[in-house]
Amino acid sequence: MRLFALRGAISVERNDSAEIRAATTQLMEAVMQRNDLRPQDVVSCIFTVTSDLDAEFPAAAARALGFEAVPLLCAQEIAVPGAMARVIRVMLHYHAPEGHSATHVYLGEAGALREDLAAAQ
């Protein structure tokens, strides 16, 4: 087993607790499915949100998916002028077999953040 890290992001329509939870759930389920992971494989998870999202912690949705024993952290993304609004990002550290290849996941409008990965989405 080896330590890996992957990134993901998803856009949110509005600053609403239910929307943030639903988007985080969708993102985390896609990350876990595409990388054949279980919460017990995850070492830690860092979420960032753009400054216009403050109605909910993305970590709350992750805990509801079984990440209660995983150290989770939420932070605010740097407010760069002209950057995409209403985005939840995640960096996940996990253990997987040596031959594993991390699949990064960018959903919704956030797919534009990593157009180089668009073919994999």
CB within 8 Å of 61: residues ≥ 6 apart: 20, 21, 22, 24, 25, 28
Of the residues 19, 34, 63, 109, only one is catalytic, namely 63
Q: Establish whether 45 is a catalytic residue.
A: no
Active-site annotation holds for 21: no
**2 is a catalytic site residue:** no
- Any catalytic annotation for residue 94? no
Catalytic residue among 14, 74, 94, 109: 74
Which member of 21, 77, 86, 94 is catalytic? 77
105 burial level (CB within 10 Å; 0-12, 13-18, 19+): buried
38 is annotated as an active-site residue: no
- Return the active site residues: 7, 63, 74, 77, 89, 106, 114
